[in-house]
């Protein structure tokens, strides 16, 4: 550390410690008289009679001169009069190359001993998005190794995509495929609000040792307090930002942003915010753009982000899905009907979109992708007649062509979990089969 930075750090340290005392606990909300602090600051609540320990909490608001705190841990041992000490800074985590290949919690603490603790440095979890005027344009495609995405919804380095689906339609498996097959320098995967059983299944079965060696996994399970689930998303984004600043191309995958919104709703309701759309508080719709805009390009590197959205009852217009869709640069819709037919990945080509694809691909690539979409649309419109045998061949030339093309299109869209095709392989395959209207 340089002398100037060291002196600056010394001058920023307060010579005083500020304390307060717990006055009441209601549900997850802790209220204390003092200390002198600001919204977003960390506090330590000292608990225990014999062996004293500190419960970390964050200042989330104030009520009649009292401080409102949300804990990062259970509140079992907190009693009236428990000492509250302000740390005078927001949450920071230790980040560095030693984390690669490890699984960490929302505070950046490793669950295992896989990661090295050497060379890590403090990094804030809540950072501003890149300056919009200094954010480079997305001009270079990123090979994801998934034919349906690379061919029909080409993703660029620094693009942000949503993956919209109900439960059990293949979101986690698709994320694992992208992590193993993409050309990114590093993967950061955030599992927010997952069942504890599914975490190890995802890491060992879906991701595997090959996928993990180039990945950092951040885990906040469903049993943890709401603030830990929110901080899991913030921590994963901060880790991605750190490596982006080192000049790397990072792929960030978050499953799921819906559970982050639900956690923020819990916090908002606890501090007295009014419920608005479907019970979500206004702070939820303020948090989403602040979180999602942090990924993307900056002057040094890129974060290509995939955010899964768990849609209740497969309703694509519920409040969180609608808000996220308006912020991101495109979305992939996973269709339960396609999954039930055995098509994987179950991407609904006709309802998905990549907003920057036209800037990334050649004219012939774009025309071929449009042709495939058109053939699928024509087939789907007449599918009922075709299925029951009521369509007579020769009635409509486009329908005849769609019937002829449909098996080849379906075969192109399907892909096994362990299959990998780079961007150029996919493009060449698509052009040969379907280019210029297909031969």
Are the C-beta atoms of residues 161 and 306 closer than 8 Å to each other? yes
What confidence tens digit (pLDDT) does each residue in 187-226 have? 999 999 988 888 888 888 888 888 888 999 999 999 898 9
What confidence tens digit (pLDDT) does each residue in 220-277 have? 999 898 999 999 999 999 999 999 999 999 999 998 899 999 999 999 998 888 988 7
Flag whether 4 is in a domain: no
119/241 same-domain check:
yes
384/318 same-domain check:
no
Q: Which of 330, 357, 384 is the last residue of a domain?
A: 357
324/427 same-domain check:
no
173/280 same-domain check:
yes
Closest to 358 in 3D by CA, of 349, 366, 367:
366
**pLDDT at 171 (0 to 100):** 87
**CA pair distance 329, 358, nearest whole angstrom:** 12
80/108 same-domain check:
no
Flag whether 1 is in a domain: no
Q: Which of 357, 372, 403 is the last residue of a domain?
A: 357
Q: Which of 58, 90, 122 is the last residue of a domain?
A: 90
82/161 same-domain check:
no
285/344 same-domain check:
yes
Closest to 311 in 3D by CA, of 328, 336, 292, 291:
336
24/120 same-domain check:
no
Distances (CA, A) of 125 to 212, 238, 241: 23, 5, 9
pLDDT at 116 over 70: no
Are the C-beta atoms of residues 362 and 342 closer than 8 Å to each other? no
Answer whether 0.85 is exceeded by the pTM: yes
Boundaries of domain holding 41: 13-90
**pLDDT at 313 (0 to 100):** 62
Give the torsion sign (CA, 338, 339, 342, 344). positive
83/99 same-domain check:
no
Domain count of the fold of the chain? 3
Q: Mean pLDDT over residues 19-35, rounded?
A: 89
225/279 same-domain check:
yes
Flag whether 188 is in a domain: yes
The number of CA neighbours under 13 Å toward the Cβ of 17 is 8
The residues, ordered by sequence, that sit 6+ positions from 258 with a Cβ below 8 Å of its Cβ are: 308, 309, 310, 311, 320, 321
pLDDT at 50 over 70: no
Flag whether 439 is in a domain: no
């Amino acid at each position: 550390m340089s002398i100037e930075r060291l002196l600056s750090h010394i001058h920023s340290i307060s010579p005083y410690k500020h304390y307060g005392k717990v006055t009441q606990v209601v549900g997850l909300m802790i209220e204390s008289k003092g200390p002198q602090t600001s919204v977003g600051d960390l506090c330590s609540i000292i608990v225990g009679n014999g062996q004293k320990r500190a419960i970390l909490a964050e200042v989330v608001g104030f009520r009649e001169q009292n401080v409102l705190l949300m804990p990062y841990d259970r509140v079992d041992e907190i009693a009236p009069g428990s000492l509250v000490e302000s740390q005078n800074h927001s949450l920071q985590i230790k980040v560095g190359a030693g984390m690669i290949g490890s699984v960490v919690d929302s505070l950046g603490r490793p669950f295992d001993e896989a990661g090295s603790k050497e060379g890590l440095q403090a990094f804030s979890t809540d950072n501003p998005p890149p300056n919009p005027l200094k954010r480079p344009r997305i001009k270079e495609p990123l090979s994801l190794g998934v034919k349906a995405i690379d061919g029909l919804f080409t993703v660029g380095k620094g693009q942000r995509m949503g993956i919209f689906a109900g439960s059990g339609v293949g979101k986690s498996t698709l994320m694992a495929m992208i992590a193993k097959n993409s050309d990114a320098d590093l993967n950061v995967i955030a599992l927010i609000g997952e069942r504890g059983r599914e975490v190890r299944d995802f890491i060992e079965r879906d991701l595997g040792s090959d996928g993990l060696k180039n990945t950092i996994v951040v885990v906040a399970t469903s049993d943890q307090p709401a603030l830990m689930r929110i901080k899991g998303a913030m921590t994963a984004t901060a880790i991605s930002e750190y490596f982006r600043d080192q000049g790397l191309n990072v792929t960030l995958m978050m499953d799921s942003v819906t559970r982050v919104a639900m956690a923020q709703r819990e916090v908002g309701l606890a501090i007295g915010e009014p419920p608005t759309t479907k019970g979500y508080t206004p702070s939820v719709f303020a948090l989403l753009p602040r979180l999602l805009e942090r990924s993307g390009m900056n002057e040094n590197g890129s974060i290509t982000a995939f955010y899964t959205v768990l849609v209740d009852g497969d309703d694509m217009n519920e409040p969180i899905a609608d808000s996220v869709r308006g912020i991101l640069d495109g979305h992939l819709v996973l269709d339960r009907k396609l999954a039930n037919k055995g098509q994987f990945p179950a991407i609904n080509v006709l309802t998905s979109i990549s907003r920057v694809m036209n800037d990334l691909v050649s004219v012939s690539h774009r025309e071929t992708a449009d042709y495939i979409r058109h053939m699928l649309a024509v087939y789907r419109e007449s599918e009922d007649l075709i299925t029951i045998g009521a369509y007579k061949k020769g009635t409509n030339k486009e329908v005849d062509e769609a019937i002829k093309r449909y098996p080849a299109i379906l075969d192109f869209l399907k892909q096994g979990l362990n299959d990998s095709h780079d961007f150029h392989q996919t493009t060449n395959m698509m052009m040969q089969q379907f280019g210029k209207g297909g031969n």
